[in-house]
Amino acid sequence: MIVNGFGIQLTRLRHEHIEMVRQKRNSKKISQYMEFREEITPEMQEKWFQSVNNKFNNYFLIEFNGEQVGMIYGADVRWEKGETGNGGIFIWEGKWLETEIPLAASLMLTETSFLLGLDKTFIKVLNDNSRAIAFNKNLGYELLPGEENNYNRKYVLTKDNYYKKAEKFRTRFVKQYGDVFHIRIEDVNDESEANIISIHSKMSAENKKRFNLILP
């Protein structure tokens, strides 16, 4: 599955990508912001991929001008409850950190999730990662009660809060790129992609205008 919009592309993680992602994730500049900081072995990465390669987890490579610059994800999706249990993003190409690419990816994944019927997303952020805390608060994430004394703190984003807090950011992207996202299905027999097709078939006409599904 490939998602295009807001000037970037999100490509669903495939097996061929996992070794590259493992190496990026193991680098100190990424692992220092993660709760788990031990070396991830190829065997661990393979086991992890097999556990997340399903309709309950959406991991995407962030691509800009043909270059893979990071990864963004919505994991532990509880479709029946309308929730994403754990979301996150990391950019391994430092030159893109201070650009609008991380923001574009976050806005696009958030909005496509809402169009698919999800209403709430949870994330965890280390309390010394001030950049990530500020970034997510600007999107509308709020610290959950009782998390103040934790090192890895849990935040929540609701649809209403997102459209209130992030409007000043998304307006720029909508003005430049429009608010339609193009989702290309690559394998109709894949569990995750078949799930998207099924949800799309039940969408309102208004949401279908923004969630442009392209079948093989």
What the block records as the tokens of 79 is 């479709």
Task: Say what the pLDDT of residue 90 is.
Answer: 94
Least Cα distance to 70 among 32, 114, 113, 105 occurs for: 105
Q: How many residues comprise the chain?
A: 216
* CB-based contact 92:27 (threshold 8 Å): yes
Locate the domains of the chain by residue range. Answer: 2-214
Q: Work out the burial of residue 40: count CB atoms within 10 Å of its CB; fewer than 13 is exposed, 13-18 middle, 19 or more buried.
A: middle
Q: Where are the beta strands (DSSP E) in 52-180?
A: 58-64, 67-78, 83-91, 120-126, 142-143, 152-158
Each residue's pLDDT expressed in tens, for the chain with a length of 216 residues: 999 999 999 999 999 999 999 999 999 999 998 988 999 999 999 999 999 999 999 999 999 999 999 999 999 999 999 999 999 999 998 899 889 999 999 999 999 999 999 999 999 999 999 999 999 999 999 999 999 999 999 999 999 999 999 999 999 999 999 999 999 999 999 999 999 999 999 999 999 999 999 999
Amino acid at site 211: F
Question: Distances in Å between the alpha carbon of 61 and those of 163, 166, 185?
Answer: 25, 23, 16
| Domain at 2-214: CATH architecture | 3-Layer(aba) Sandwich (3.40)
pLDDT for the residue numbered 83: 98
User: Whole-angstrom Cα distance, residue 115 to residue 134?
Assistant: 25
Tokens 């430092």 -> residue: 94
Indicate yes or no: pTM above 0.75: yes
158 close to 189: Cβ distance less than 8 angstroms: no
Q: Which of helix, strand or coil describes residue 32?
A: coil
Helix (H) or strand (E) holding 164: helix 159-165
Q: Which residues pair with 90 in a beta bridge?
A: 71
Distance between CA atoms of 134 and 136, rounded to whole angstroms? 6
